[in-house]
Structure 1
Amino acid sequence: MTQKIGIIGTGGITEAHLEALASLPGVQICAIAGRNQGRAAKLAATYLPQQLLHFYESYESMLLKERLDAVFVTLTPQLHGEMEVALAQSVPAVFIEKPIANRLEPVLKAREAFKKAGTVVATGYMMRWQPGVIAAESSLREAAEVPVTLSGCWINPMPGASWWRQQALSGGQFVEQCTHIVDTAIVLAGPITEVSAMAARGFVRDVPDYDLDDALAVTVRTGAGGVGTFITGCYQAGGQTGRVGLELSSITRQFSFSGWRADLLLREGSNPPRKLAGLEREAIFRREDEAFLQAAAAGDASGLRSDYDSALETLAVTLAAVQSARDNRTVRLTELL
């Protein structure tokens, strides 16, 4: 059976999904919706030279004219809300890139729409599909342990996209980038129940339209009683390598993840350390996209590792950190959800 796919968005992350989808059998990308029609045509020519596509300036036009089995949404955080409600009424399956928004209100409305329609929804937290994360889950389950401490970081030069450097559009680095590390921490350590954060400002200068925190230091408590920290920052000068990683420790296990691939160094008791390399960009996007399309074809989301509810949980934690830094107080997740 051929699955007919629509794409909403023409940004950089769209390329990764188009490359993955083009390599999967039984997939026909029928349409791309986006305001930048020239960019849409270029993407199609690069990744889908043999396919006949329709281009639309709005998702509304695409949904009105196309009969699609699934839609991929690759838009910036501030553009979510009404679109998801429309998708719930129009297509049976939706993949939404992370973060699923930069505010909770539209996500709560969309969740209700998806549940009412029975939509299969996956989200783009690709680290959940990395072999090291899956191995760490298995190791903790085998030991019947949960992490006591965790420490995550995402520090790098500022991304070049103009929307990214505006709080109202991206939500800031903790919401837009470090969300991957927060999400992985939740997978392995369980729900985060309270958050306290402090922000640094004034180090990044002479960047047009920039109004983000330069760095954010976040402490958290998990539902299991563990504690942890996250450090995130976009203050490094261009050319710096940056640092992305997550470390967790339980009574007999230590897990050290490095890079966006989540390469794992695993220590279990007195056993020699084990290394497990993560998947490269093309392979990890193919894995998550293929799993989503299998779920879409079956009408069954039970096999998805990153669904809408889990993405909502991660978004709430990152927004709680932003609120904590702004209000100078600890924020409990029960205040938001």
Structure 2
Amino acid sequence: MKVALIGAGYIAGRHAAALTGLGCEIVGYVGRSGARSGRAYRDTAELLAHEEVDAAWVCVPPHAHGEIEHTLIDHGVPFYVEKPIGNDLDVPRRIAASIHSGLIVGAGYYWRGMEVIPELRRMLAETPPHLVRAAWHGLVPPVPWWRVEAESGGQVVEQATHLYDLARFLLGEAQVVHAVARHSPVPDHPDLDVATVSAATLTFDSGPLAVFTATCVLHATVDAGIEFHCEGRKLTLTNKVLRREDADGTHETPIGRDPLVIADERFLTAVREQDPRHLVCDYADALRTQELCCRVRDAAKEA
């Protein structure tokens, strides 16, 4: 399959490696960070004018979405868009309204694709959670756009969104009960205007109460995961393991293959078979996660 990369940063590099390993030919890319493979183009329209493309991967900062997706839609090119799908709601909603029936469009919520998710879902069905606690506690990423809320959308929208999405995926829709955020100066990043700490309380339609926290004041990502407190046991998922703690002790299961690769593989299958059921996450579902994260961010501003 001939594919293109729109964006040439870190996450595009991960997809490039995955796609090459899955047998794809990367025919071109758009981006300023240097070639991953294929020929370089100034924009999506120029790339599509010169290359035969079966599918495209959109790996750009949150504020850069819009024209790229509309160009791909106009040309009927299936595409996979990395999370988050925007820095706010207007652009993603317009894109969602423009996606015509039959066009395969996936989104990069690849935590859903972890090989341990079916086992986690089975255990949650056995003992439904009463309390959910999720945390993304880390550092300020090195890319300058992340530090500016108008470009990134803030930490909840850009980073902790993986946890909000996974909770939605496993528990259903949620209501925001309360949210609060604070900004503290970070000496190494004087231009940073995103909230440096945030906390939100949610209730899920399936029953549990949830608390989500995020911070970017640390030296590294020391905590990125979600906990489910159930009758008699605690289940924890990180990007490395699924952990069960109960009366029998602690048991850990590695998450398995790289879920980003799994998500790419399933997107390729969806395109080949013209069947969106293979997708880890489609655009419409990603939009619902975007809406939830924006509600949390905006509620915190009003607190």
1:276 aligns with 2:261: no
Q: In 2 relative to 1, CA 127–75 (structure 1 residues): closer, same or farther, beyond 3 Å?
A: same
8 Å Cα contact 1:126/1:288 also seen in 2: yes
2:57 — aligned with what?
Answer: 72
Which amino acid counterpart does residue 185 of structure 1 have in structure 2?
A
1:264 — aligned with what?
Answer: 242
8 Å Cα contact 1:17/1:289 also seen in 2: yes
8 Å Cα contact 1:125/1:306 also seen in 2: yes
Q: In 2 relative to 1, CA 216–110 (structure 1 residues): closer, same or farther, beyond 3 Å?
A: same
14, 17, 20: which one aligns with 2:18: 20
1:30 — aligned with what?
Answer: 27
**Distance in 1 separating the partners of 2:141 and 2:16:** 21
Count of paired positions: 303
Which amino acid counterpart does residue 275 of structure 1 have in structure 2?
E
Which amino acid counterpart does residue 305 of structure 1 have in structure 2?
V
1:303 aligns with 2:252: no
1:172 — aligned with what?
Answer: 154
The CA deviation at 1:5 is 0.5
1:120-139 aligned within 5 A: 120-139=104-123
Which amino acid counterpart does residue 176 of structure 1 have in structure 2?
E
Give the match's secondary structure for 1:220.
Answer: strand
Give the match's secondary structure for 1:168.
Answer: helix
Name stretches of at least 5 consecutive residues in structure 2 with no aligned partner: none
Give the match's secondary structure for 2:176.
Answer: strand
**Distance in 1 separating the partners of 2:14 and 2:266:** 15
**Distance in 2 separating the partners of 1:289 and 1:241:** 25
8 Å Cα contact 1:68/1:91 also seen in 2: no
2:230 — aligned with what?
Answer: 250
The CA deviation at 1:273 is 4.2
122, 134, 152: which one aligns with 1:152: 134
Give the match's secondary structure for 1:137.
Answer: helix
Name stretches of at least 5 consecutive residues in structure 1 with no aligned partner: 45-52, 329-337
205, 228, 234: which one aligns with 2:187: 205
**Distance in 2 separating the partners of 1:134 and 1:101:** 29
Which amino acid counterpart does residue 10 of structure 1 have in structure 2?
A
281, 287, 292: which one aligns with 1:312: 287
8 Å Cα contact 1:246/1:256 also seen in 2: yes
The CA deviation at 1:323 is 0.6
**Distance in 1 separating the partners of 2:4 and 2:293:** 29
Give the match's secondary structure for 2:45.
Answer: helix
The CA deviation at 1:85 is 1.9
The CA deviation at 1:266 is 2.1
Q: Deviations over 1:244-275 (max 9, x none)?
A: 121012345531123x33x111247x555432
**Distance in 1 separating the partners of 2:55 and 2:221:** 37
The RMSD of aligned alpha carbons is 1.9
Which amino acid counterpart does residue 18 of structure 1 have in structure 2?
A
Q: Deviations over 1:7-34 (max 9, x none)?
A: 1001110110011111112x11111012
The CA deviation at 1:139 is 2.4
**TM-score, scaled relative to structure 1:** 0.84
Task: Report the more deviating stretch, 290-299 or 192-201.
Answer: 192-201
